[in-house]
């Protein structure tokens, strides 16, 4: 009993490799175009959120510092309460 299996000739094997590489390059190009647009939005939102959090935290620290210096009022203890103070 002999098994007949298809064995491509040497020249058609080169064409298949070239076709697969071409499909890979085209797929990578289109994915870079699509993901480029998506990641621009993702990074823009992340940058805005980080900038907002840093602005709020620095404002809170500066306000705490000046209230403590001028009026001896502890803003951290007022906001966080007694739960987070050391015993």
Q: What is the DSSP annotation of 37-58?
A: HHHHHHHHHHHHHHHHHHHHHH
Q: Which tokens belong to 14?
A: 């080169």
pTM of the predicted structure, to 2 decimals: 0.54
**54 to 15, 48, 50, 59, 60: CA distances (angstroms):** 56, 10, 6, 8, 10
Per-residue pLDDT tens over the stretch 12-63: 688 888 899 999 999 999 999 999 988 999 999 999 999 999 999 999 888 8
Residue 2 placed within a domain? no
Number of residues assigned to the chain: 87
Q: Is residue 1 part of a domain?
A: no
Which comes out higher in pLDDT, residue 84 or 54?
54
How many domains in the chain?
A: 1
Which tokens sit at 23? 């499909």
In a domain, 32, yes or no: yes
4 has pLDDT over 90: no
Q: Is 87 a domain residue?
A: no
């Amino acid at each position: 009993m002999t098994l007949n299996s298809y064995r491509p000739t040497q020249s058609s094997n080169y064409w298949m490799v070239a076709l697969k590489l071409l499909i890979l390059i085209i797929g990578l190009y289109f994915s870079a175009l699509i993901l480029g647009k998506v990641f621009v939005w993702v990074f823009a939102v992340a940058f805005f959120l980080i900038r907002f959090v840093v602005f709020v935290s620095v404002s809170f620290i500066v306000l705490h510092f000046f209230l403590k210096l001028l009026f001896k009022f502890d803003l951290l203890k007022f906001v966080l309460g007694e739960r987070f103070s050391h015993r």
